[in-house]
A and B are shown apart, each in its own frame.
Chain A
Amino acid sequence: MTMARAATPRRSFLGHSYNLVGVVASLVILAWTLIAIFAPYVLPHPIGDIVDDDYFGPMRQGLWLGSDYLGRDMLSRVLMGARYTVGISLAAVCIACFSGVVLGMVAAVTGGWLDTCLSRFLDAMNSIPSKLFGLVVVAAVGSSVPVLILTLAVIYIPGAYRFARALAVNINTMDFMTVARVRGESTFYLIGSEILPNIMRPVLADFGLRFVFIVLLLSGLSFLGLGLQPPLADWGALVRENIGALPFAAPAVIVPSLAIASLTISVNLLIDNLPKKIRDRDA
Chain B
Amino acid sequence: MSNLVEVRNLKIEARTDSGRLVEIIKGVSLDIAEGEIVALIGESGSGKTTVALSLMGHARPGCRITGGEINVNGKNMAAFSEKERARLRGTDIAYVPQSAAASFNPSSTIMEQVIEVTRIHKLMPPEQARQRAIELFRALSLPDPEGIGARYPHQVSGGQLQRLAAAMALIGDPKLMIFDEPTTALDVTTQIDVLKAFKSVMRAGGIAGVYVSHDLAVVAQIADRIVVLKGGEVQETGTTADILSAAQHPYTRELLAAFEPKPRQIQATGDSAANPLLRVNNLTAGYGPVKPDRQPVVRAVDSVSLVVEKGRNLGIIGESGCGKSTLARAIAGIHPAAAGDIVFDGKDLQRAAGKRSREQLREMQIVFQYADTALNPAKAVEDIISRPLVFYHGLDRQARSKRVDELLDMVRLPKTLRYRHPSELSGGQKQRVNFARALAADPKLIICDEITSALDTVVASAVIELLKDLQRELGLSYIFISHDLSVVETICDQIMVMYNGERVEQITPDKLKAPSHPYSKLLFSSVPKLDPTWLDGLVRDPELVSQYGHR
Which positions in A face B, CB cutoff 8 Å?
Answer: 1-3, 10, 12, 17, 174-176, 178-185, 194, 197-198, 200, 276, 278-283
Contacts and interface: CB of A to CB of B under 8 A. Distances in A.
A282 to B, nearest CB: 7
B415 interface: no
A17 B17 CA distance: 8
Nearest to B383: A193
Contacts of A280: 16-18, 20
B376 A197 contact: yes
Contact of A175 (B62, B374, B378, B423): B374
B373 A3 contact: no
B550 interface: no
B65 A182 contact: no
B23 to A, nearest CB: 13
B122 to A, nearest CB: 26
Given A175-B373, A183-B361, A283 B20 contact: yes
A185 B391 contact: yes
A129 to B, nearest CB: 36
Nearest to B441: A183
B467 interface: no
B423 A181 contact: no
11 contacts: A1-B64, A2-B64, A3-B62, A175-B374, A176-B373, A176-B374, A183-B391, A184-B356, A198-B377, A280-B16, A281-B424
Nearest to A171: B376
Contact of A182 (B18, B19, B366, B376): B366
Contacts of A12: 18
Interface string B371-383: 0011111110000
B417 interface: no
Contacts of A17: 17-18
Interface residues of B, number: 39
A98 to B, nearest CB: 19
B353 A175 contact: no
Nearest to B365: A182
Nearest to B449: A175
A182 B376 CA distance: 15
B20 A175 contact: no
Nearest to A9: B19
Nearest to A198: B378
A194 B20 contact: no
A176 B371 CA distance: 9
A182 B424 contact: no
Interface in B380-411: 387-388, 391-392
B376 A279 contact: no
Nearest to B20: A283
Contacts of B354: 181
Interface string B223-254: 00000000000000000000000000000000
A184 B358 contact: yes
A194 B383 CA distance: 11
A58 to B, nearest CB: 50
A277 B366 CA distance: 32
A271 B437 CA distance: 36
Contacts of B353: 181-182, 184
A159 B510 CA distance: 62
Contacts of B392: 183
Nearest to A176: B376
Contacts, number: 78
Please indicate which of the listed interface residues A12, A182, A200 has the most CB atoms of chain B within 10 Å of its own CB: A182
B333 interface: yes
A1 B197 CA distance: 36
A176 B375 contact: yes
Given A175-B368, A197-B378, A182 B17 contact: no
Nearest to A283: B18
A178 B334 contact: yes
Contacts of A194: 376
A184 B391 contact: yes
Nearest to A200: B378
A183 to B, nearest CB: 6
A34 B93 CA distance: 62
Contacts of B287: none
B17 A276 contact: yes
A237 to B, nearest CB: 42
A105 B391 CA distance: 22
A1 B65 contact: yes
Contacts of A184: 353, 356, 358, 361, 391
Nearest to B356: A184
Contact of B374 (A179, A181, A279, A283): A179
A179 B332 CA distance: 10
B42 interface: no
Given A1-B64, A3-B64, A198-B378, A174 B373 contact: yes
A141 B499 CA distance: 68
B59 interface: yes
A178 B339 CA distance: 22
B64 A279 contact: no
A182 B378 CA distance: 20
Given A3-B62, A175-B368, A182-B334, 19 more contacts: A1-B64, A1-B65, A17-B17, A174-B373, A175-B374, A178-B368, A179-B366, A179-B437, A180-B387, A183-B387, A183-B388, A184-B353, A184-B356, A184-B391, A197-B379, A278-B17, A278-B18, A281-B424, A283-B19
A127 B334 CA distance: 37
B524 interface: no
B18 A181 contact: no
Contacts of B65: 1
A281 B332 CA distance: 38
A200 B377 CA distance: 12
B152 interface: no
Report, nearest first, the 4 A-B pairs whose CB atoms are least far apart: A197-B378, A283-B18, A280-B16, A175-B374
B318 interface: no
Contacts of B361: 182-184
Contacts of B16: 279-280, 283
B370 interface: yes
B21 to A, nearest CB: 10
Given A1-B57, A197-B378, A175 B19 contact: no
A197 B333 CA distance: 27
A96 B332 CA distance: 39
B12 to A, nearest CB: 10
A10 B379 CA distance: 26
Contacts of B377: 198
Contacts of B379: 197
